[in-house]
Amino acid sequence: MNPMVKPEIELTDAACERIRSVLSTEGRQALRISLNEAGCSGLEYVLDYADSPSTGDLVAKFDGFQLFVDAEAYQKALIGLKIDFQQDVLSSAFVFHNPNKQGECGCGASFTL
C-alpha cells in the first residue's frame, strides 16, 4: 500500500479535540493506531504516541496533528473506522465504530472480524 494514500479513517470533532489536547500535554505531534491480538475476542485497538511513522505506515493529517496507521492493521480491519471521544460524569473514552467488526467481548475492549 502506498503510504501517500490517506487512510479511510474518520475522527469526530470530539476525538480530534481530545487527541490535540493529549498530544499537546505530552509534547507530541502524532498518534499511531494499530491492532494487537489480545482480549476475549481476539483483537484490540492500540493507540501510541509517535514522533514519526513506522515503516509502511499510512499517514492522515488533521488540524494540529497527524495520525499514523499501521498498514497491515488497516488492510486487515481498519478501513472505514470512525473514532469518537465520549465523556460523561463517570468516565471518558475513545469509542471505535468499525464496519469490519463481526463481534466483540462483553466489555467492548476487544473485537473479532
| Angstrom distances, CA of residue 98 to CA of 41, 50, 56, 74, 102 | 14, 23, 22, 11, 9
Domain contains 2? no
Q: In this structure, which amino acid lies at residue 94?
A: F
pTM (predicted TM-score): 0.84
* CATH, residue 37: 2.60.300.12
- Structural domain containing residue 60: 10-112
Q: Structural domain tally of the chain? A: 1
| Angstrom distances, CA of residue 76 to CA of 69, 79, 100 | 12, 8, 9
Domain contains 1? no
Domain contains 5? no
Tens of pLDDT, residue by residue over 46-55, are 999 999 999 9
Separation of alpha carbons 11 and 13, rounded Å:
7
SS3 breakdown of the chain: % helix, strand, coil, rounded to 5? 20, 40, 40
Tens of pLDDT, residue by residue over 59-102, are 999 999 999 999 999 988 899 999 999 998 888 889 899 887 76
